[in-house]
Amino acid sequence: MLIASLSLIAGLALLAWGADRFVYGATSVARNFGVSPLIVGLTIVGFGTSAPELLVSAVAAWQGNTELALGNAVGSNIANIGLVLGSAALIHPLVVRSRILKREYPIMALVLLATPALLLDGHLGRIDGLLLIAGLILLIAWTVRMGLRQRVKPGTIKATAIGGADELAQEYAEELKQRASTPVAMAWLIGGLLLLLGSSKLLVWAAIIVAHHFGMSDLLIGLTIVAVGTSLPEVATSIASTLKGEHDIAIGNIVGSNMFNMLGVIGIAGIIHPVSFSPELLSRDFLVMLALAAAMLGMAYRSRAKARIGRIEGGLLLVAYCGYLVALAR
């Protein structure tokens, strides 16, 4: 048990660092090949921070622990809004003006509603997985198309776009100015991916031993310890962006991660190992996720000009997340 506990902590730490190096290498390679900062930000950064969820869930599903994979995906989304967004807003009130993000909000709502609707029969099958992956491909295509409409150079005062200036494009342009040379970036990309894979296997092995020792189900361990651990890259990215005043990136990271978790993470798990899951996932956990997402969207649409998530709202999100964890522990 002691070895498993230490392995769990080590797996979480290596997973977070591996994700950071993987995203850094991938963004540097893409920027060196001339891909625009907005496309890099919306795809590699937005979805890349969910690489831990994807690999952990894939490893868990491969080993037959698909409920752990499902719990990881849903629990990560709950943590993204309650823990990550709540913490970021407590540090500094978030003011989001990006029109791109406001276009993504209804897409996120659609994804979060469609995924549990697809699973109402209590079974995650390969057809379900393929449909979710198809949705992910469409989402990436739409994101790239939207990014191609933006033209921005680092250091400019405003982003110039077909539809006018957008703050998110400018924030990504400034954030991604620094990058590694292609050989170094490729080394970090490959090394980060290998580290993600190794730490994912270590984390899943340790999480299952800890869960069984305390009489916890695979679903519960996925919703809690594993979900929080795989959300560490989102925590780091969102808090760092908040401290830099890049509020649109902080929110955009959460929106992108939530959609990727539903489509990519659950989709991969379903393709690898179809399974019938506990009804609590639909009646409890998906409902909590949807309630927090509705609260987030309500904050986003309070104003036509901008969305402001203040410290009070952030505190309420954190309290809601803590309440959810207490309910799980009972």
Enumerate residues 6+ apart whose C-beta is below 8 A from 321. Answer: 78, 79, 81, 82, 83, 86, 292
pLDDT of residue 163: 40
| The token pair that represents 244 in the structure block | 């830099």
pLDDT at 205 over 60: yes
Domain of 87, CATH number, reads 1.20.1420.30
Lowest mean per-residue pLDDT among 82-91, 108-117, 223-232: 223-232
Give the tens place of pLDDT for each residue, 314-329: 999 999 999 999 998 8
The CA distance from 21 to 281, in Å, is 32
What is the number of structural domains in the chain?
1
Enclosing domain of residue 211: 2-329
pLDDT of residue 149: 67
pTM: 0.83
pLDDT of residue 306: 59
pLDDT of residue 316: 93
